[in-house]
Amino acid sequence: MRLKVWEPFREFRPFYRNVDRLANEYGFSAQSAERPNEATLSPKVDIYETENSYVLNAELPGLKKEDIKIDLNDNTLTLKGEKKFEEKVEKENYVRVECSYGSFTRSFVLSDNVNAENITASYNDGVLKVTLPKKEEAKPKEIKVEIN
């Protein structure tokens, strides 16, 4: 007769894997809970198109304007920054640490119709707004057609 080992939590393994995957995807991990200053920061970004430009909004709460760098190289826009963990109180006093800290890099390949010379950026209330104007030839043109 063969003995079978009883594993009462075996059915929960897929659930735990999914929770771990989601936690890692959103910048949380067991390591980041123990050492918040080493957590991964990955800002959320919205990109939308207007008639004259593309607009990128990145959520960067808690960062100072000086901590953010924007680079454009080979048609790739790169956002870099670092949110530092300010240790004003000892870690043992924290009941829960969910805020992400650390450095981040996000890169976006730009369309060929972006006018790289006139890119502008502003930072207000924790939101970085990068405006990427379109080249003149990329803007839609309206042609009126007369019908006889």
Looking at per-residue pLDDT, the higher value among 107 and 9 belongs to: 107
Span 67-72, mean pLDDT? 92
Q: 93 falls in which pLDDT band (50, 70, 90)?
A: low
Q: For the chain, give the percent of residues with pLDDT over 90.
A: 28
Predicted TM-score of the model (pTM): 0.62
Q: Is the pLDDT of residue 109 over 70?
A: yes
Instruction: Give the least confident one: 13-27, 64-78, 85-99.
Output: 85-99
Helix, strand, coil content of the chain in percent (nearest 5): 25, 30, 45
The answer, yes or no, to whether residue 148 has pLDDT greater than 80, is no
- Which of these, 127, 36, 125, 29, lies nearest to 86 by C-alpha position? 36
Instruction: State the average pLDDT over residues 89-98.
Output: 64
Beta carbons of 119 and 128 less than 8 angstroms apart: no
Q: What are the E-state strand segments in 60-140?
A: 68-73, 76-83, 102-109, 120-124, 127-133
State how far the Cα of 142 lies from the Cα of 135, in Å rounded to an integer: 16
